[in-house]
Amino acid sequence: MANTYNRPSITLELAQEIVNRAVAQAVEDGGAFVVSVVDESGVQKAFARMDGAPLLSVQVAQDKAYTAAGFAMPTDGWFDFIKGDEPLRVGAPTGIDRLVVFGGGYPLTIDGAVIGGIGVSGGHYSQDMAVAQAGLRALEAATTA
């Protein structure tokens, strides 16, 4: 059909594997985190809130995944993207709903196409990034197998 197009999306099985790998890393690191994986449209696909993870981390993790999938860039890239541009620096964080501008969110891509996003929250953003990167390794393993 000329008026439609197809977009690749993450499967439930892969989304759950990414969450599982991230949670395993969090356990190894000794922290309690929230891990959210969304599809290419930013809709939650898989999720875990570890015992003891802060309640507010639920929304932050979901928003990190949404931001990463929606803009096809890691959330930590936003700070550098907006810091030298005063209108963006002031307007983007308050004007773009659910935008997160610190680390812990990454787009999930296969063959250059965004299939979803991962967001992690519960520690310092550098810890969130390490846990999310473990989830990215699950994606890498799935795509090279």
User: pTM to 2 decimals?
Assistant: 0.95
| pLDDT tens digits for range 73-106 | 999 999 898 988 888 888 888 888 999 999 999 9
What's the pLDDT score for residue 87?
Answer: 87
CA distance 30 to 108: 25
Contacts of 118 (CB under 8 A, 6+ apart): 18, 22, 35, 36, 37, 38, 64, 65, 68, 105, 106, 108, 132, 135, 136
CA distance 43 to 62: 9
Q: Which residue has the tokens 């989830």?
A: 135
